[in-house]
A and B are shown apart, each in its own frame.
Chain A
Amino acid sequence: MKNKKIMFWMIIALTIVAALIIIKKPTKLGLDLVGGSRIVLEAQTTDTIAKITPDMMSSLQFAIENRVNALGVAETLVQQTGEKRLLVEIPNVSDPAKAKEFLGETAELEFKKPLDGKYGATGWISSGLTGKDVKKALISTNPGGQWVVSLEFNDKGTKKFGELTSKMVGQSMAIFFNGELQSAPTIQEPILGGHAQISGGDSGFAYEEAKKMVDLLNAGALPVPAKIIEESLVGPTLGADSIAKSKTAGIIGIGLVMLFMLLYYRLPGFIADIALIIYSILVFAVFKIVPVTLTLAGIAGFILSIGMAVDANILIFERTKEELKAGRTLFTAINAGFDRAFTSIFDSNMTTIITCVILYFLGTSIIKGFALTLIIGVVISMFTAITVTKNFMHLLFGAGQLKHPGWFGIKQSEIGKAYEATETKKEKAKFGILD
Chain B
Amino acid sequence: MSETVLHQHKWIDVVKYRWVWFGLSLLLIVPGIIAMVYSMINYPTHYPVKVGIDFTGGTISQYSVKKDVPNSEIGNLRTKLINAGVENPVIQVLRTNNTISKAEKLNTATVISVKTAFKSNDKTAEQKIANVITADYPGAELVQVSSIGPSLGKELFVNSLYALGLAFLGIVVYLSFRFQLDYAVIALISLAHDALFVLGFFSILGIFFDVHIDALFITAVLTVVGFSNHDTIVVFDRIRENSRFLAKKATFPEIVNASVNQTLARSINTSLTTLITLGALYLFGGETTKEFVLAMIVGIAIGTYSSIFFASTLLDWWREKQENKKRGAAA
Is A242 within 8 A of B75, CB to CB? yes
Residue interface bits A231-270, CB-to-B below 8 A is 1, else 0: 1111111111111011011101110110011001000000
Is B4 within 8 A of A420, CB to CB? yes
Is B170 within 8 A of A303, CB to CB? no
Binds B, one of A177-185, A355-363, A384-392: A355-363
- Given A233-B94, A240-B75, A314-B270, verify A300-B163 contact (CB < 8 Å): no
Is A239 within 8 A of B98, CB to CB? no
- Cβ of B245: which chain A residues have Cβ within 8 Å of it? 421-422
Interface residues of B in 50-84 (CB under 8 A from A): 57, 60, 70-78
Residue in A234, A343, A344, A374 with the greatest tally of chain B CB atoms within 10 Å: A344
B233 interface hit (Cβ, 8 Å) = yes
Interface residues of B in 66-115 (CB under 8 A from A): 70-78, 90-101, 104, 111, 113
Q: How far is the CB of A395 from chain B (nearest CB, A)?
A: 25
Residue interface bits B27-67, CB-to-A below 8 A is 1, else 0: 00000000000000000000000000000010010000000
Interface size for A (C-beta < 8 A) is 86
Which chain B residue lies CB-closest to A422?
B245
Is A418 within 8 A of B74, CB to CB? no
Q: How far is the CB of A386 from chain B (nearest CB, A)?
A: 15
Is B75 within 8 A of A359, CB to CB? no
Is A230 within 8 A of B104, CB to CB? yes
Is A306 within 8 A of B277, CB to CB? yes
- Cβ of A81: which chain B residues have Cβ within 8 Å of it? 60, 146-149
A296 interface hit (Cβ, 8 Å) = yes
- Given A237-B90, A366-B215, verify A242-B222 contact (CB < 8 Å): no
**In the assembly, what is the distance between CA of A260 and CA of B271, in Å?**
12
A79 interface hit (Cβ, 8 Å) = yes
A194 interface hit (Cβ, 8 Å) = no
Residue interface bits A340-381, CB-to-B below 8 A is 1, else 0: 100110011111101100110011101100100010000000
- Given A249-B284, A307-B273, verify A348-B163 contact (CB < 8 Å): no
Is B152 within 8 A of A364, CB to CB? yes
Residue interface bits B160-197, CB-to-A below 8 A is 1, else 0: 10111011001100110011000000000000000000
Is B92 within 8 A of A236, CB to CB? yes
- Cβ of A230: which chain B residues have Cβ within 8 Å of it? 96, 99-101, 104
Interface residues of A in 107-147 (CB under 8 A from B): none
Interface residues of B in 246-289 (CB under 8 A from A): 246, 262-263, 265-266, 269-270, 272-274, 276-281, 283-289
- Cβ of A215: which chain B residues have Cβ within 8 Å of it? none
Residue interface bits B309-322, CB-to-A below 8 A is 1, else 0: 00000000000000
- Cβ of A355: which chain B residues have Cβ within 8 Å of it? 167, 170-171, 222, 225-226, 229
Q: How far is the CB of A318 from chain B (nearest CB, A)?
A: 5
Q: How far is the CB of A297 from chain B (nearest CB, A)?
A: 5
- Cβ of B100: which chain A residues have Cβ within 8 Å of it? 228-231
Q: How far is the CB of B269 from chain A (nearest CB, A)?
A: 5
Is B219 within 8 A of A370, CB to CB? yes
Which chain B residue lies CB-closest to A355?
B167
Q: Which of B104, B160, B289 contacts A300 (CB 8 A)?
A: B289
Q: How far is the CB of A2 from chain B (nearest CB, A)?
A: 33
Binds A, one of B14-22, B128-136, B234-242: B234-242
- Given A250-B281, A355-B167, A363-B160, verify A232-B99 contact (CB < 8 Å): yes
Q: Which of B159, B234, B263, B276 contacts A257 (CB 8 A)?
A: B276
Is B286 within 8 A of A232, CB to CB? no
- Cβ of B8: which chain A residues have Cβ within 8 Å of it? 418
Q: Which of B223, B227, B285 contacts A249 (CB 8 A)?
A: B285
Q: How far is the CB of B41 from chain A (nearest CB, A)?
A: 25
A35 interface hit (Cβ, 8 Å) = yes
Is A240 within 8 A of B277, CB to CB? no
Q: Which of B57, B93, B174, B219 contacts A79 (CB 8 A)?
A: B57
Which chain A residue lies CB-closest to B102?
A229
- Given A315-B234, A348-B233, A352-B229, verify A241-B75 contact (CB < 8 Å): yes
B5 interface hit (Cβ, 8 Å) = yes
B155 interface hit (Cβ, 8 Å) = yes
Is B281 within 8 A of A352, CB to CB? no
Further pairs besides A79-B151, A300-B281, A318-B263: 9, Cβ < 8 Å: A57-B149, A79-B57, A242-B288, A253-B279, A260-B272, A310-B273, A310-B274, A318-B269, A420-B5
Could you list some 17 contacts between A and B, CB below 8 A?
A35-B92, A79-B149, A234-B92, A236-B92, A240-B74, A252-B284, A253-B277, A300-B281, A306-B277, A307-B274, A311-B270, A311-B273, A343-B237, A352-B226, A358-B170, A362-B166, A374-B223
